């Protein structure tokens, strides 16, 4: 084998490895389902990540398949915070839901998931961390205070600081189950149509239905939510 031939073969092998890597990356990207929301303010598309929060994503996609979101409204809109929808119809009647999904915020972060930053999609819930059903919100700014709080190693945890207070030798289970430390599970992000979200977030709001504030004065409808892939 001549040096020239050997060099060509080495370059060819390297190229094949690169192509295979790109193909694998492309295949991975294609595994991220996308959902198109057609709203009265325009369309936007979200991408969700079953590899980061599998139960949360499957719960959300099942509501999409069931057409749960069709005909609902964005009932809570707060500029410089988030826009929330997916739970109430045009008369502000709450739609029936399935059982709540387990909280996956910390697990998602441990797998490289996103924080609650602008454009990310997260599950809405009550003060109970495991109460999320169908409602979701889209962050319109970086909301650090919504992020799950990592728990340091150890049992008991030698030192833990939260909101300016220091806790020493705290049982690990006590920290893991503290409701205020769970945060909110991010499971996707807006990949197109962010300008629609930017239009929604600045709409005038006031009282509406059972809510005393933050309801768009002109209803913002989700006409349909469709699974694209």
3 state SS for 162-213:
ECCEEEEEECHHHHHCCHHHCCCCEEEEEEECHHHHHHHHCCCEEEECCEEE
pLDDT score for 134: 98
Q: What is the DSSP string of 73-133?
A: EEEEEETTTEEEEEEEETT-PBPP--PPPPP-HHHHHHTT---S-TTEEEE---SSTT---
Query: What CA–CA distances, in Å, run from 208 to 47, 70, 72?
Result: 30, 20, 14
pLDDT score for 24: 40
How many C-beta atoms surround the C-beta of residue 171 within 10 A?
Answer: 11
Q: Which CATH architecture has domain 31-148+183-227?
A: Beta Barrel (2.40)
Location of structure tokens 């826009």: 83
pLDDT score for 14: 46
Cis peptide before 169 (omega within 30 of 0): no
> In a structure prediction context, what are the per-residue pLDDT tens digits for the chain, which is 229 residues long?
344 444 444 444 444 444 444 444 444 445 899 999 999 999 999 999 999 999 999 999 999 999 999 999 999 999 999 999 999 999 999 999 999 999 999 999 999 999 999 999 999 999 999 999 999 999 999 999 999 999 999 999 999 999 889 999 999 999 999 999 999 999 999 999 999 999 999 999 999 999 999 999 999 999 999 999 7
Global pTM reads 0.85
pLDDT score for 30: 56
Domain boundaries in the chain?
31-148+183-227
pLDDT score for 31: 81
């Amino acid at each position: 084998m001549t040096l020239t031939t050997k060099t060509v073969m080495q370059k060819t092998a390297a190229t094949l490895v690169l192509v295979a890597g790109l193909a694998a990356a492309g295949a991975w990207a294609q595994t991220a389902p996308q959902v198109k929301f057609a709203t009265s303010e325009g369309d936007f598309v979200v991408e969700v990540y079953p590899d980061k929060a599998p139960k949360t994503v499957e719960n959300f996609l099942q509501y999409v398949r069931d057409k749960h979101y069709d005909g609902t409204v964005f009932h809570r809109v707060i500029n410089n915070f988030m826009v929330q929808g997916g739970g109430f119809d045009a008369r502000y009647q709450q739609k029936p839901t399935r059982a709540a999904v387990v909280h996956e915020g910390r697990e998602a972060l441990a797998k490289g998931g996103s924080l609650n930053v602008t454009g990310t999609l997260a599950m809405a819930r009550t003060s109970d961390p495991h109460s999320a059903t169908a409602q979701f919100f889209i962050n319109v700014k970086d909301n650090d205070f919504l992020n799950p709080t990592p728990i340091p190693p150890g049992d008991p945890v030698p030192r833990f600081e939260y909101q300016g207070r220091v806790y020493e030798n705290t049982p690990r289970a006590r920290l893991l189950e503290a409701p205020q430390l769970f945060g909110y599970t991010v499971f996707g992000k807006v990949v197109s149509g962010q300008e629609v979200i930017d239009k929604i977030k600045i709409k005038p709001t006031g009282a509406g239905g059972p809510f005393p504030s933050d309801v768009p004065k002109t209803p913002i409808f989700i006409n349909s939510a469709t699974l694209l892939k």
